[in-house]
Amino acid sequence: MTIIVVLVVSGALLLGAAWGIYGSLSAATEGFLVALAGGALLVSSILELIKPSIEQSSLGGAMAVVFLGAAVFTGLDYMVKKKFGSESGGGLLAAITLDGIPENLALGVALIGASPLAVAALSGSIFLSNLPEAAGGAKEMTSSGTSKSKVFWLWAATAVLLSIAAIVGNLLLDGTSKEILAYIRCFAGGAVVASLAIEVFPKAFKEDNYWAGIATAIGLVLAFILNSFGE
């Protein structure tokens, strides 16, 4: 199951990059898909990462770690923006990597003792998020003059890095106490929420205006349906 989930989630980056480089993707479509993915990932980060963790640790400790995850992502994202620029595809690539590492680490942790349907809900939401984000980032990078092959291999390297994070989370943390695993999930949840607020929803609204609100609601409903299957 670990290998299948890793291939599905990281494969979304490769599919998205190929779509952005070689396919046709209008700004409005990209914005709609990004908002849809954001809605799905927001729900899944709460239901699959944060909420179960509160039940296995103290509420105060869990909330502090959620805040820490958001703060760390925000700080790193700020530094990335200073280097790459807020509008560049490279900046989006770096942002996906920043929140993707704890996100995929938590996904690997979630595979420990979780039901297949519960894991499917989280991995499905991450897939929905990675696909349009990779497409948009790859498109922007090629538009700025970077060669298509170099862009694709950059995204492929990112997919490998995030795959390793998921495998490490699953193999090396097996046997770790439930409280520590809960805090890892909370940290990842905080990073995901911060990335949605900083990277995903502003980009979606910029590209698709008020349709982004509808798309977010659709993603939210899809994530709740996926989550209900895991209960």
Residues 6+ apart with CB under 8 A from 124: 40, 44, 223, 226
24 in a structural domain: no
For residue range 189-215, list pLDDT tens digits in order.
898 898 889 878 988 898 888 999 999
- Out of 40-44, 64-68, 112-116, the most confident range is 64-68
Cα atoms in the 13 Å half-sphere on the side-chain side of 77: 26
145 in a structural domain: yes
173 in a structural domain: yes
- Number of structural domains (the chain) is 1
Per-residue pLDDT for 97 more than 80?
Answer: no
105 in a structural domain: yes
How far apart (Å, rounded) are the C-alpha atoms in residues 39 and 54? 22
102 in a structural domain: yes
For residue range 29-41, list pLDDT tens digits in order.
888 988 988 898 8
222 in a structural domain: no
Per-residue pLDDT for 116 more than 90?
Answer: no
How far apart (Å, rounded) are the C-alpha atoms in residues 213 and 201? 9
Mean pLDDT of 2-7: 76
37 in a structural domain: yes
1 in a structural domain: no
With vertex at residue 126, the alpha carbon angle to CA 38 and CA 173, rounded to the nearest 5 degrees, is: 130
Containing domain of residue 118, as a range? 30-215
